[in-house]
């Protein structure tokens, strides 16, 4: 009886504290703060303090939440929460060095679909607000997702082929174990194009510059978020930050596994360091040097250049190079 209670508490701890909510909340916000600072420095601005996302979040939570008369209330309010919960669950499945909170319950295809849920929730929430700007935002978000999905799938298939050899695998724990035994997959020559493709997919999935057409503030008033205010808006901002963490740690688990000590706390710190570097490389640098693309350019970019890179990897991996 005692052991059951303890196990339950342990899993609850995983979900609520590490690597669940608290971890996601703090580190996600931190990554976004660093991102804003770096971009500002690259543009010769002072930039906000690194803790600015925290201040924004708590300030927003204290603001009045207005529900437009045209909105359907339940969907409007529930959507942000569902999106956030799904992302946190996703984070639970991503292994940190040898440690993973829940292994054997899902594989990379599940993760592929879990990544869709926050976007899906945001779209339904935006649609439920009844705003025409949200309608445009929704269509752009959808096209962005379609654009990212094809290269992302190819990257995952390539990784599965390299790890599994003849017995192809979709299992995340196998990918982690393979890297523990054989070193990081990034050192595998055939996967380098895939890693570059994945780096380019990260800003698309998180909706960062230059692929933030769906939320273009100056153009369509933040699209899906046009009618959101107060606490729900704060949750959306948080979701965006957690998404940065999730995707960078996803990258780390796919390509940079095998770096670590075996002590969970140290490994978590290493992961955070890796995520910071990845955020700077794939989000901040790209943000600072580009201007926002049009939606058809986003689509074209992903389905030609990024897909091409992923395809090269896939073919190379297939023929065992």
Partner 1 sequence: MSFANFLDYHHFPVYSIMVLFLGAFLIVLFGKNKFMRNLLAFLAVSISLACIVALVKPVMLDGEIIAYWMGNRAVAGGYAIGIALEVDALSLFFALLISTAVFVSGIYSLQYMEHDNNVPEYYTLFLMLSGGVIGLVLSGDIFNMFIMVEILTFAAVALTAFRNKAHGALEAAFKYLVVGCIGSTCILVGIIMLYAQAHTLNFAQLSAVIPGNMNNATKLAFALLFVGFGTKAFIVPFHPLAADAHGAAPASISVLISGVLTKSGIYGLIRLTYFLFQTMNLGTFQFLLVFIGSVSMFVCVTMALAQHDFKRLLAFHSISQIGYVLAAVGLCTGLGFSAGLYHAMNHTLFKGLLFLCAGAVLHQTGTTNLDELGGLSKKMPWTTGLFLVGAFSISGLPPFNGFASKWMVYQAAYQKASETGNIGFLFVTLIALVTSVLTLASFVKVSQSVFFGRLPAKYENVKEVKGGMIFAMCLFAILCVVTGLFPSAVTKYLTEPAARAVFSVVNYIDAAMGTGYAASAMGENLPVVASFNFNELGYWSPISWLLILCIALLAVTIVAVSGKYDKVSESSEIADSKYDLFFGGEKSVYSQVGGGDLFWGFKHNWRHYFSFMHDLHSGIVNDYSLWAIVALAIVTLFIQIVL
Of the candidates 208, 230, 193, 235, the one whose C-alpha atom is nearest the C-alpha of residue 81 is 235
- Closest separation in Å from C-beta 204 to partner 1: 13
Euclidean distance between CA atoms 319 and 178, whole angstroms: 19
CB of 172 to partner 1, least distance (A): 8
According to CB under 8 A, which residues from 4 to 23 bind partner 1?
A: 12, 15-16, 20-21
193 three-state secondary structure? helix
Binding mask 102-121 for partner 1 (x = CB under 8 A): x-xxxxxxx-xxx-xx--x-
Contacts of residues 302-307 at CB distance under 8 Å and 24 or more positions apart, as own/partner, are: 302/147, 302/148, 302/150, 302/151, 302/200, 302/201, 302/204, 303/147, 303/150, 303/151, 305/200, 306/151, 306/197, 306/200, 306/201, 307/150, 307/151, 307/154, 307/197
* Rounded-to-integer distance, Cα 63 and Cα 53, Å: 16
Binding mask 170-209 for partner 1 (x = CB under 8 A): xx--------------------------------------
Nearest to partner 1 of 34, 80 (CB atom): 80
Does 162 contact partner 1 by CB under 8 A? no
Q: Which of 100, 131, 190, 249 binds partner 1 (CB under 8 A)?
A: 131
Binding status of residue 300 toward partner 1 by CB under 8 A: yes
- Examine residue 26 and tell whether it contacts partner 1 (CB under 8 A): no
Buried b (16+ CB within 10 A) or exposed e, 117-150: bbbbbbbbbbbbbebebbbbbbebbebbbebbbe
- Select from 47-55, 183-191, 262-270, 310-318 the region that touches partner 1 (CB under 8 A): 310-318
Applying CB under 8 A, among 32, 138, 202, 241 the residue interacting with partner 1 is 138
* Shorter beta-carbon distance to partner 1: residue 42 or 150: 150
Is 298 one of the binding residues for partner 1 (CB under 8 A)? yes
Considering beta carbons, is residue 109 or 281 the nearer one to partner 1?
A: 109
Q: Classify burial at 218, counting beta carbons within 10 Å of its beta carbon; exposed 0-12, middle 13-18, buried 19 or more.
A: exposed
Residue 246: closest CA among 283, 192, 286? 283
Q: Which is nearer to partner 1, 195 or 238 (CB)?
A: 238
Q: How many residues bind partner 1 (CB under 8 A)?
A: 90
Out of 146, 189, 281, 289, the only residue in the binding site for partner 1 (CB under 8 A) is 146
Give the other-Cβ count within 10 Å of 116's Cβ.
14
**Residue 305 interacts with partner 1 (CB under 8 A): yes or no:** no
Residues numbered 209 to 228 that lie near partner 1 (CB under 8 A) are 220-221, 226-227
Within 13 A of 241's CA, how many CA atoms are on the CB side? 28
- Between 126 and 274, name the residue whose CB sits nearer to partner 1: 126
Binding-residue pattern over the window 45 to 84 for partner 1, x denoting contact by CB under 8 A: ----------------x--xxxxxxx-xx-x-x---xx-x
CB 285 within 8 A of CB 199: no
| 176 contact partners, CB below 8 Å, separation of at least 6 | 95, 97, 98, 100, 253, 257
Please state the closest distance from residue 310 (CB atom) to partner 1, in A.
Answer: 10
Question: Tokens at residue 228, please?
Answer: 């959101």
Asked if 259 is part of the footprint of partner 1 (rule: CB under 8 A), the reply reads: no
Q: Closest separation between CB of residue 277 and partner 1, Å?
A: 28
């Amino acid at each position: 009886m005692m052991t059951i209670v303890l196990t339950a508490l342990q899993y609850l701890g995983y979900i609520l504290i590490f690597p669940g909510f608290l971890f996601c909340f703090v580190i996600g916000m931190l990554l976004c703060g660093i991102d804003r600072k770096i971009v500002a420095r690259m543009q010769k601005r002072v930039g906000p303090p690194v803790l600015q996302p925290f201040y924004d979040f708590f300030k927003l939570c204290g603001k009045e939440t207005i529900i437009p008369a045209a909105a359907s209330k339940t969907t409007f309010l529930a959507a942000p929460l569902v999106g956030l919960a799904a992302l946190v669950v996703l984070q639970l499945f991503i292994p940190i060095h040898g440690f993973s909170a829940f292994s054997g319950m899902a594989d990379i295809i599940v993760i592929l679909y879990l990544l869709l849920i926050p976007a899906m929730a945001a779209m339904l929430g935006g649609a439920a607000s009844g705003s025409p700007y949200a309608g445009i935002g929704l269509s752009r978000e959808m096209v962005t997702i379609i654009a990212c999905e094809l290269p992302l799938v190819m990257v995952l298939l390539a990784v599965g082929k390299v790890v599994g050899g003849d017995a192809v695998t979709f299992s995340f724990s196998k990918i982690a174990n393979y890297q523990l035994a054989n070193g990081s997959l990034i050192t595998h020559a055939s996967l380098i194009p895939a890693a570059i493709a994945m780096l380019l997919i990260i800003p698309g999935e998180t909706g960062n510059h230059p692929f933030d057409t769906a939320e273009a503030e100056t153009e369509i008033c933040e699209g899906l978020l046009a009618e959101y205010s107060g606490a729900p808006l704060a949750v959306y901002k948080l979701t965006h930050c957690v998404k940065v963490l999730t995707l960078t740690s996803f990258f780390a688990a796919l390509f940079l596994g095998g770096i670590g000590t075996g002590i969970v706390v140290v490994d978590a710190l290493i992961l955070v360091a890796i995520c910071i570097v990845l955020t700077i490389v794939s989000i901040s640098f790209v943000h600072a040097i580009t201007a926002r693309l049009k939606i058809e350019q986003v689509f074209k970019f992903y389905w030609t250049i990024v897909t091409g890179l992923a395809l090269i990897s896939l073919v190379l991996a297939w023929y065992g190079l």
